[in-house]
Chain A
Amino acid sequence: MSALRDRACVVGVGESAYTRGSGVSDLELMLTSSRRAIADAGLRPHDIDGIMAPVMAVSADDLASNLGISDLRFTGRSMMGGAAAVASLLGASLAVAAGVARAVLVPAGLNLYSRFRARTVAARRDVESPLPATVRDFYLPAGATAPPQWYALMAQHHMAEYGTSQEALAAVALACRRHAQLNKRAYMHGRPMTLDDYFASPVITSPYRLLDCCLETDASAAVVVTAPDHPAAARHPRVHLSGVAEGHPHPADDIAGRADPLAVGLTSAAPRAFEMAGVGPEDVDFAEIYDCFTFEVLQQLEEAGFCARGASDGFVRDGAIELGGRLPVNTHGGLLSEAHVMGMSHVVEAVRQLRGTAGDRQVAGAGVGVVTGWGDLGDGSIAVLRNERRAVR
């Protein structure tokens, strides 16, 4: 049994409004979600003694100074783009399991509409790029300036190799949009999508159409992590971090140079997380999969072991990933139809599902959920969460 299994819980969750045009700074956005997560845990800011800082824009000291956290004793930061939010749960788990900190705040998100378009960040000259030098020296000159182009190179390879269809990409977009209709917070709530809408949307960079691409929004979400015996863990039904892992493809900084062109960080991280948790993909009741683009959901379903490599096309057809299907995916609408919260809204949704408070989109009897993160040319992270309805074997 892993030394880290069930040694940490997510005890508080919170969000800012999800908008285009927050009218506030990144710090204010992050303070809103942080305060709500701390309050949801029944704590006060001075109870927080650890912070895993977000990828960009705001530091742990910025947060602590403004929240009034007077005895900060543990800080960290994962530099894995969209994989950082879930990877930060690993750092937070280590800290509370080791007793280095008692309550760790993990915020994420940005003004990704008003200030930092994800599509521009790699090529901006006015901010220090968080991306590797290989992108600057080889990808940007060749025209691959933005994430949809990098990942399209993986998607196109997969489609040629396995016959993966455009309809499978559409199935991901449609599932997320249908789920968003059950989530008033979702930016696309009230804006349903049909398969015809999908095929009518323009090609951005083949094989990705507009509706294969995630939203750009101003949004932040945060969680608080403690050990299971912390008083805050008793406030809601306990949500255990049963397994959590990060992984990095080799080389992490060049998609083209990988011996296995479809191996990503999740490929190595998922088996570690499942082993730590003592469960397998077949035990999972729902999955919140980082959906920067539709194909990345297919790829992660395969690499996490929910289906075999090359089998995701069949897996996602006929509603399997929709609520009521055998593995509901992105029950909140995801980055594609809820908001782009750098992966943290996926964690928040998993916690709500496991508390049984997901309302109209509740997965009946949910006991085990998976959340993944994806970033920076395929870095990956995964958390296996469970409530106490489901005992580990």
Chain B
Amino acid sequence: MSDTPHSRHEPTGRTAPPLLPAVDALTGAFYDWLARGELRVQRCLDCAVLRHVPRHLCPACGSDEADWMACTGHGVLFSWTTTHRALHPAHARTPFTTAVITLDEGPRLVVPLVGARTEELRPGLPVQLDLAARPESGNTADGIVLPVFRPTSRHRFPRPAPSPAGHHPHQKGS
């Protein structure tokens, strides 16, 4: 079975321009906050439900009024996949881990997870945002900060003081 037709097309290993979000509208606001050093998620001004990914309307109550609430950057691991075979040249360095994490505030995000040993991966593993880290896959670019997480280590990565919420003028629609 070593020569299945599957195996004829090995990854080329070449690098490619990074895969980046379209930083306009609501997505742009999310990434702008990250570039300014904060992880924020939308909070409905009518029913206070938090949401990610960014939306124009509150899925709970339909309101179009929302602001961006600062999160602590702490959460726990929900699920993960460790990619051993490059599936896109922008993420050519393997292995790398992509995770679903649950923020302490509630919303779940798909994020790059760095600095984790395979054997420590488990649901509920404490993780924290590391704004200085770059994805291990190599997908990185100047000017864009991705929400990279790593297993929490209070010795090396002290817990940051939470930023006060709601200080910034709320952003409607776009």
Contacts and interface: CB of A to CB of B under 8 A. Distances in A.
B12 interface: no
Interface size class of B (residues with CB under 8 A): 35 or more
B81 A145 contact: no
Given A157-B79, A254-B53, A202 B88 contact: no
Given A137-B27, A142-B146, A153-B100, A257 B84 contact: no
A142 B111 contact: yes
B21 A193 contact: no
Contact of A133 (B5, B27, B79, B85): B27
Interface string B1-37: 1101111000000000011111000010000000000
A391 interface: no
A202 B84 contact: yes
Contacts, number: 142
B80 A153 contact: yes
A161 B100 CA distance: 15
B122 to A, nearest CB: 7
A191 B1 CA distance: 8
Interface string B50-74: 0111000001000000000000000
Nearest to B148: A142
Interface residues of A, number: 52
Contact of A149 (B78, B83, B122): B83
Given A157-B78, A204-B84, A142 B1 contact: no
Contacts of B53: 134, 137-138, 251, 253-254, 257
Contacts of A136: 21-22
A389 interface: no
Interface in A68-118: none
Nearest to B51: A257
Contact of A157 (B6, B27, B123): B123
A153 B79 CA distance: 6
Contacts of A308: none
Interface stretch (A42-50, A205-213, A365-373): A205-213
B150 interface: no
A57 interface: no
A253 B110 CA distance: 12
B90 A145 contact: yes
B19 A145 contact: yes
B55 to A, nearest CB: 8
B109 interface: yes
A359 interface: no
B83 A143 contact: yes
A200 B3 CA distance: 12
Nearest to B135: A143
Interface in B125-150: 135, 137, 139, 144, 146
Nearest to B17: A125
A197 interface: yes
Interface in A164-218: 187, 191, 193-194, 197, 200-208, 210-211, 213, 215
A292 interface: no
Contacts of B98: 142-144, 149, 153
Interface in B86-111: 87-88, 90-91, 96-98, 100, 107-111
B85 A145 contact: no
A205 B84 contact: yes
Contacts of B151: none
B153 interface: no
Contacts of B107: 257
A160 interface: yes
Given A142-B111, A143-B96, A160-B123, A206 B91 contact: no
Contacts of B85: 202-205
Q: Which 4 A-B pairs have the closest CB atoms?
A: A197-B1, A152-B81, A137-B21, A145-B88
Interface of A: 20, 119-120, 123, 133-134, 136-146, 148-149, 152-154, 156-157, 160-161, 187, 191, 193-194, 197, 200-208, 210-211, 213, 215, 250-251, 253-257, 261
Given A153-B79, A157-B100, A261-B78, 8 more contacts: A120-B88, A149-B87, A197-B1, A202-B84, A205-B81, A208-B81, A210-B4, A211-B6
12 contacts: A137-B22, A138-B53, A138-B110, A143-B112, A148-B81, A157-B100, A187-B5, A205-B81, A206-B80, A206-B82, A211-B1, A261-B78
Interface of B: 1-2, 4-7, 18-22, 27, 51-53, 59, 78-85, 87-88, 90-91, 96-98, 100, 107-112, 122-123, 135, 137, 139, 144, 146
